[in-house]
Structure 1
Amino acid sequence: MQFPESWLREFCNPDLSTQALADLLTMSGMEVEELRPVAPPFSGIVVAEILTADQHPNADRLRVCTVDAGPHFKMDGKDGPLQIVCGAPNARAGIKVPLATVGAELPPADPANGDGKPFVIGKGKLRGVESFGMLCSARELKLSEDHGGLLELPADAPVGQDIREFLKLDDTLFTLKLTPNLGHCLSVYGVAREVAALTGAPLKSPAIPPVQPQLDTKLPVRIEAPDLCGRFSGRVVKGIDPKAPTPQWMVDRLARCGQRSVSALVDISNYVMFEFGRPTHIFDLDKIHGGLVVRWGRAGETLKLLNGNTITLDEQVGVIADAHAGSQTVESLAGIMGGDATAVGDDTRNVYVEAAFWWPEAVAGRSRRFNFSTDAGHRFERGVDAALTVEHIEHITALILQICGNATTVVGPVDDQVTRLPQRAPVRLRVERASKVIGMPVSQAQCVEVLQRLGLQVEEAPGVLTVTPPSWRFDLQIEEDLIEDVIRIIGFDQLPLVPPQAPVTSRVRPESQRSSHAVRRQVAALGYQETINFSFVEERWERELAGNEQPIRLLNPIAAPLAVMRSSLIGSLIQVLRHNQARRANRVRVFELGRVFMRDASVPTSEHSVVGVHQPLRLGGLAWGPADGQQWGVSERPVDFFDVKGDIETLLAPRAARFVADSHPAMHPGRCARVELDGQVIGHVGELHPRWCQAYELPVGHGAPVVFELDVPALLARDVPAYVPVPKQQVVTRDIALIVREDVRHDALMSAILAAPTGGVLRGARLFDVYRPNATNAAAAASNSLGADERSLAIRLELLDERAALTDERSDEVVRAVLDAAQQAVGARLRGG
């Protein structure tokens, strides 16, 4: 929220400097995000009146003006008007404008690129005509970006007065960053009320006298949804002048609140909103037919808003409708924005002024459904005082009469309809509890004083205060809310500097578990770069890459495509690959460690979970392009399944995983494996399916990308190192060549070998050669009894008995046991045997 300091001090003017006031607001919870002057430093600029504006004799676009700047400014010591050469298109006789006199200092034209020194005005000569000063635009004074001509001042501006004094430029703009519980501070008066409580300075509450009605006309209004609108106040005003100019003081204040001037009626409504936090709406009365109906929207109804957008409504959005002939055409989006059909314009003569109380829960989130937000919706969804609708109608009426009124203007009575207003439940404050939470002793008298300064009604009992929240405080609901008010008014700077009372104990992670950061570092050491992506993704990704036909949908997505929660990390990684390929990256290694979201009815609500939603932590990775960076020593080849399989084995080491052929919605059906660890499936790895390579327009010149996704808890667990003495005996190795069918899997063969009854002598087995018959070695294959559908696997066995040295006889017995186990399990036979 932005506002000028001078406006705040009209309501409450404490004896504090600007910086001290900003520090006080920040320490009370209303963070002052920025302090900046209304105008940059400049001097020597005064109000001047152009008396004549004649064409320059030697230039088509210049005029020679005679300017009255008051008796203190003379031309070469002579009395009379100044001669100024000006090129502004609106330079003409009779207007009052800023004049930079000789010696005046203007702000630097471009401080970002220059030295920041002011621009000094001197006597000059333009095309042979002398000029004693410069007439200024708003842009030259750095008041706005408008450089279409001279800054025209009001006709009553006193000639010769310093422009800073006339425009009140020695002011400071406060920009507050308010938390959602401070909705009562979304106005200048609301901030002033807090400043009065903080400093004890008097609060000047404006007197709002009622405007006496001159006619009995009322607009029929019917409230059909009391859960939408608790109070609706309105008044008819007829015979106004819609083209009346907005007073300069109002234009300036709105501009300093970040709001541009639109028209007098719109400006009045905006002004009251910034002044008292009351969003209101002014209808063109002649465009309303049959009265107004306040109700919930209906599916399929449409409304063209003031911003030009046409939206489609449903039953969850409140509206103000036209009751003409029962058609009930929607005219306004309740509490958010008015409709274009009843907007005021230059032809408006009669208006209906509306101020209502909309329930916060009936407005919250509605505007975001239509991808926009408004100042009115921002305030109503936090809560607006329901007790002052009539007073604010009176205030707006007085401003309309003052600015847009004339001899024919008449007003009707205020029509005030109340259906249901918020009932403020009393909140108890235990003084002892407040001292404990705050961290320093506070007395009951201190608490009472603070709460009363905030305008709260307090009932005292020994040690307990009962507070009835006022109509403008929607945030006071529990005891902690009152405790917060107590300490922020007393001052956080009053808290004593004491060491913590609780013992500080470190949480040591067990040795059998490593941190997720250690996993990240290990994946990065393998050449992968970490990415961080949104948890909400395109529904297409879930359906195609995760096989999830019913993903968890977002009620209010930040963008239309990002409409569901992800149950897999693969879609996000493919999008990262596409992003890099579009920028001509030829080698991509990326990973992400994050949560996925899946439906699970067994999940309860807790501090770390949401009912019905399972949120496991996953590690996903993707590799594409050459297996190694370009180098002279190794020929370039694309990364394949076995490269990524090796990376996964490294991540899990020293624990050994088992890779079993499997299928996955995102992966190639013949080049995909599930990863098993201790008999549990912990993820999948494989090439991306060719269908998705084509669908997502992935070039496969360097091969298809290889992706994997693993459960993080399995990666965090690790075996605790166990002490094993150095063997006293020497390892014996034996090489065997087994003939097996082509359909025998490597893991099945190795499992059979390692399960052979060897009494613990067999310590390991490793495949080191594969031999298949072909046209060139058919004769050799026949001599080795190799069939066309068979292959020979050479395996090295490692044998060790720590108790005694292995003899050839014992080693042969172990080899025979291995051969028997392999023959029984997979039908293997010894080559050449």
Structure 2
Amino acid sequence: MIFTEEWLRQYVNPALSTDELAEALTMAGLEVEEVTTAAPAFSGVVVAEVLTCRDHENSDHLHVCEVNAGTGETLQIVCGAPNVRAGIKVACATIGAVLPGDFRIKKSKLRGVVSMGMLCSTRELGINENHDGIWILPDDAPIGTDIREYARLDDAKIELKLTPNRGDALSVVGVARDVHAITGAPLILPSMAPVPATCECRLPVEIQAPDLCGRFSSRVIRNLNPKAKTPEWMKSRLERAGQRSVSALVDISNYVMLELGRPTHFYDIKKLNADRLTVRWAREGESVKLLNGETVELTPWYGVICAGDEPECLAGIMGGDRSSINDETTDLFIESAFWFPKAIQGRCRKLNFSTDAAYRYERGVDYASTAEHLEYITQLVLDICGTPETKVGPVEDVVANLPERAPVKMRVDRCCKVVGVDIPLESMEESFKRLGFEYTLENGVFTVVPPSFRFDIEIEEDLIEEVARLWGYEKLPDRPPLARIAMKPSREERRSAHALRLEMADLGYQELINFSFVPEEWEVAFAANEKPIRLLNPIASQLSVMRTQLIGGLVDILRYNLNRRAERVRVFELGRVFFPDASVEEGPWTVKGVRQPQHIAGLAYGTADDAQWGVAARRVDFFDVKGDVERLIRPLKARFVKESFPALHPGRSAGIYVGDKRIGFIGELHPRVMQQFDLTHAPVVFEVAVDPLMELPLPDYKPVSKFQPVTRDLAVVVPADMEVQVLFDAVAAAKKKDLRLAPLTDFRLFDLYRPKEGEGAGEKSLAFAIELNSRTDEALNDEQTEGAVRAILEVLEEKGARLRQ
């Protein structure tokens, strides 16, 4: 929000300097980002009159002018501007003047003709970028007056950096209200005197969508002067606020938006070709061509204003090209409406453009003053573009559904406790009075009715903030926070999610934090999810759905690093994923219908180890990452079962199980996804649910046997496609039932042999190491040892294995 100090002081003029005013605004929550003057420093430029103008004899574009600059003598100045002519008032830099950029004006010769100064454009003076010609001043500009004084070029431009909740401060009047509340200086608001109707010109408006438009005020004005010029005072204020002057009617609309915070729209009523306007939600298949030249394909998510039943413009966002005003417009239809913020929010981002009107409507615009502001606009139109034949129609004010502003209570003692200082009750009352809040005070509780222009007052803390900022943040004492510290014992059978992060860091992975909303194509590619949870108001058009997996973000960051010549990447993320679940109820930490479990995912790419002389370089593989997963979830025991997943290579992926429950997956990325992300080699990825990893078994003390363990080797032949896990599970199950296996302390695979072709096709040899030890005070005897080995062999034979000969 940019405005000039002179404009602001028209409505409230506190006894503060420019710097003091900026400091007061900042300390009250309206942060002043920058204060500059309307023009950079320069000197020696005055108002002058061009007396004569003739063509230069030795140039086809230069002119020789005689100029009266109020110095007592006529100056001869050579000028190349196309718009210079006799009889105009101009800005003249005299000999010795210093222009922006330390450019000094001296006596010179141009093509043999002496020039005693320079006629300046606004760009040469640093006022704007207009360089179409010299700056032509009004005819009543006093000759010889310093141009900085005449054009108020020392007027300060103040730029505010507003928070999204302060939509009311997106206007000069809104800032003036705050300055009045901060300083107590008198507030003088613009006159909203009714303009009497002089004809019965009307264009009825019907609101068919009360959840889109709450109020629609309008008026018809006919027989205007389409060639009227924007007054210099208005053009100057607009330009200094960052708005380019277009035409009188457009400038009036922009001026009212900046002054009152009221976006309005002007229609050329002759182009509407309808006997009524309709406000409704758009229908599928409809489209509208906007003022920026774009044709938008509409859906029921957008609101429209229709001429008859044909969409004419996007409600609260931008007008339509068909009914736009131009230099030939004489008959005007003015719209001053209230659009609900939720009906506007997110639409501009979806359309990939932004407008000043939507920026204000999505933050909330005063719904109680549409008719009064319409009267103000009417008066400006008549003052600038009116003619003796101008006819003004009556104000049509259609009210369909205004917001209900519930009273907000604020406890005095609660306010003092939150702020941390005893603010006097009288100061609280004075704050509400200056802010224009209606209130009552009873038993130490303020009950405040939020005004129609403040959409940010909803809860008790909002009122506390208003009291605190008007009391003065700089008055709040510096006090260290006081809190009782109690050491809480950690639960031995449970670990924190942070412990998983530390383990991944120890394994050499770097943590990422990605958005929870992702492109829809990621959900299809990585989770085969055709119906993800969609966002109603995405921060970017491509980030349109909530994620159900973390792998997409890791792969995207991998591609980002590979494009910057990274060769070895290890990354992980611990975050929430989002699944539709009708059983989830609304709660402090839940959203109705959405399950939000935490997952942890990792990605490894490149070489298995950093480059070194002691280990031969090789690419990271499935088993490297499998080992990382086992370390991550220990002391829990993981099982890996061959399975297929949408984003993983069908022959190089597995499900991760703890007990009988699958908690995640691991594998190489699918070649299809590699191609989609332009990856030359497949990274190995995994993703695991966090909750199953939180509960840990309590340590179980077992005395160390005083006897040496007994080891045996057992080699068996099994079908080539048999999974070793089947044998491990069978032995583990038998140990719980067969007493002969009570001494068994370890059973592990140590060798695998696959015969050459022709020797034993379709089979493989597995060699297991068996470790036995006594559970009693007596050493194992040969009979117990052999019995245990026979029991294991029987179990393996039941599963299709045979003893290798």
> Fold-level match, TM-score > 0.5?
yes
Q: Does 1:106 align with 2:99?
A: yes
Give, as a single letter, the amino acid of the residue that structure 2 aligns with 1:101: T
Contact 2:228/2:248 (<8 A) preserved: yes
Contact 1:523/1:651 (<8 A) preserved: yes
Q: 1:816 corresponds to which residue? A: 789
Q: Does 1:375 align with 2:375?
A: no
Question: Aligned residue pairs: how many?
Answer: 800
Q: Take 1:463 and 1:692, find their aligned partners in 2: how far apart are those partners?
A: 64
* SS of alignment partner, residue 101 of structure 1: strand
Q: 1:781 corresponds to which residue? A: none
Change in 2 beyond 3 A, CA 1:183/1:106: same
Q: 1:165 corresponds to which residue? A: 149
Contact 2:169/2:175 (<8 A) preserved: yes
From 519, 526, 536, the equivalent of 1:545 is 526
**Greater Cα offset, 666-675 or 573-582:** 573-582
Q: 1:337 corresponds to which residue? A: 318
Alignment of 1:758-777 (within 5 A): 761-774=743-756
Q: Take 2:787 and 2:210, find their aligned partners in 1: how far apart are those partners?
A: 88
From 126, 137, 146, the equivalent of 2:130 is 146
From 636, 642, 650, the equivalent of 1:669 is 650
Q: 2:90 corresponds to which residue? A: 97
Contact 2:203/2:277 (<8 A) preserved: no
Note the aligned Cα RMSD (angstroms): 3.4
Contact 1:296/1:316 (<8 A) preserved: no
Contact 1:295/1:320 (<8 A) preserved: yes
Q: 1:594 corresponds to which residue? A: 575
Alignment of 1:556-705 (within 5 A): 556-580=537-561, 587-629=568-610, 634-694=615-675, 696=676, 698=678, 700=680, 702=681, 704-705=682-683
**1:315 CA displacement:** 4.5
**Greater Cα offset, 620-629 or 600-609:** 620-629
Alignment of 1:346-385 (within 5 A): 346-385=327-366
**Greater Cα offset, 259-268 or 553-562:** 553-562
Q: Take 1:98 and 1:45, find their aligned partners in 2: how far apart are those partners?
A: 6
Q: Does 1:410 align with 2:388?
A: no
Change in 2 beyond 3 A, CA 1:517/1:163: farther
**1:608 CA displacement:** 1.8
Deviations 1:93-151 (A, max 9, x none): 4444333333333333xxxxxxxxx3444444455544433333333332223344433
Contact 2:279/2:304 (<8 A) preserved: yes
Alignment of 1:252-651 (within 5 A): 252-299=236-283, 300-323=285-308, 328-419=309-400, 421-422=402-403, 424-500=405-481, 502-505=483-486, 509-510=490-491, 512-580=493-561, 587-629=568-610, 634-651=615-632
Alignment of 1:673-752 (within 5 A): 673-694=654-675, 696=676, 698=678, 700=680, 702=681, 704-715=682-693, 730=708, 733-752=711-730
Deviations 1:320-369 (A, max 9, x none): 3324xxxx323333333322222111111121233233444544445455
Q: Take 1:152 and 1:363, find their aligned partners in 2: how far apart are those partners?
A: 42
Contact 1:34/1:175 (<8 A) preserved: yes
Q: 1:794 corresponds to which residue? A: 767
Q: Take 1:683 and 1:106, find their aligned partners in 2: how far apart are those partners?
A: 70
**1:273 CA displacement:** 1.6
**1:198 CA displacement:** 1.6
**1:370 CA displacement:** 3.6
Q: Take 1:100 and 1:533, find their aligned partners in 2: how far apart are those partners?
A: 57
Q: Take 1:289 and 1:18, find their aligned partners in 2: how far apart are those partners?
A: 51
Q: Does 1:68 align with 2:68?
A: yes
**Greater Cα offset, 628-637 or 609-618:** 628-637
In structure 1, the gaps of 5 or more residues are 72-78, 109-117, 779-786
**1:70 CA displacement:** 1.6
Deviations 1:726-765 (A, max 9, x none): 7765555544433333233222334455665566644334
Q: 1:114 corresponds to which residue? A: none
* SS of alignment partner, residue 631 of structure 2: helix
Change in 2 beyond 3 A, CA 1:803/1:477: closer
Q: Does 1:16 align with 2:16?
A: yes
Change in 2 beyond 3 A, CA 1:419/1:826: closer
**1:65 CA displacement:** 3.9
Change in 2 beyond 3 A, CA 1:102/1:807: same
Contact 1:753/1:818 (<8 A) preserved: no
**1:493 CA displacement:** 3.0
Q: Take 2:672 and 2:210, find their aligned partners in 1: how far apart are those partners?
A: 55
**1:27 CA displacement:** 2.6
* SS of alignment partner, residue 338 of structure 1: coil
Q: Take 1:628 and 1:430, find their aligned partners in 2: how far apart are those partners?
A: 63
Give, as a single letter, the amino acid of the residue that structure 2 aligns with 1:618: H
Change in 2 beyond 3 A, CA 1:41/1:798: farther
In structure 2, the gaps of 5 or more residues are none
**1:316 CA displacement:** 5.0
**Greater Cα offset, 499-508 or 203-212:** 499-508
* SS of alignment partner, residue 153 of structure 2: coil
- Normalising by structure 1, report the TM-score: 0.86
* SS of alignment partner, residue 674 of structure 1: strand
Q: Take 1:543 and 1:830, find their aligned partners in 2: how far apart are those partners?
A: 48
Change in 2 beyond 3 A, CA 1:576/1:425: closer
Q: Take 1:172 and 1:723, find their aligned partners in 2: how far apart are those partners?
A: 78
Q: Take 1:250 and 1:767, find their aligned partners in 2: how far apart are those partners?
A: 88
* SS of alignment partner, residue 26 of structure 2: helix
Q: Take 2:408 and 2:603, find their aligned partners in 1: how far apart are those partners?
A: 56
Contact 1:240/1:405 (<8 A) preserved: yes
Change in 2 beyond 3 A, CA 1:552/1:386: closer
Change in 2 beyond 3 A, CA 1:462/1:810: same
Contact 1:35/1:175 (<8 A) preserved: yes
Change in 2 beyond 3 A, CA 1:193/1:125: same
**1:541 CA displacement:** 3.2
**1:169 CA displacement:** 1.8
**Greater Cα offset, 819-828 or 589-598:** 819-828
Q: Take 2:373 and 2:475, find their aligned partners in 1: how far apart are those partners?
A: 38
* SS of alignment partner, residue 360 of structure 2: helix
* SS of alignment partner, residue 611 of structure 1: coil
Contact 2:741/2:788 (<8 A) preserved: no
Q: Take 1:335 and 1:633, find their aligned partners in 2: how far apart are those partners?
A: 68
Alignment of 1:31-42 (within 5 A): 31-42=31-42
Deviations 1:490-519 (A, max 9, x none): 223333444445424466654555554453
Contact 1:83/1:131 (<8 A) preserved: yes
Change in 2 beyond 3 A, CA 1:17/1:513: farther
From 169, 175, 188, the equivalent of 1:191 is 175
Give, as a single letter, the amino acid of the residue that structure 2 aligns with 1:310: T
**1:553 CA displacement:** 1.9
Contact 2:32/2:161 (<8 A) preserved: yes
Q: 2:186 corresponds to which residue? A: 202
- Equivalent pairs: percent with the same residue? 54
Give, as a single letter, the amino acid of the residue that structure 2 aligns with 1:273: M
Deviations 1:649-680 (A, max 9, x none): 23234443211222222223332211122443
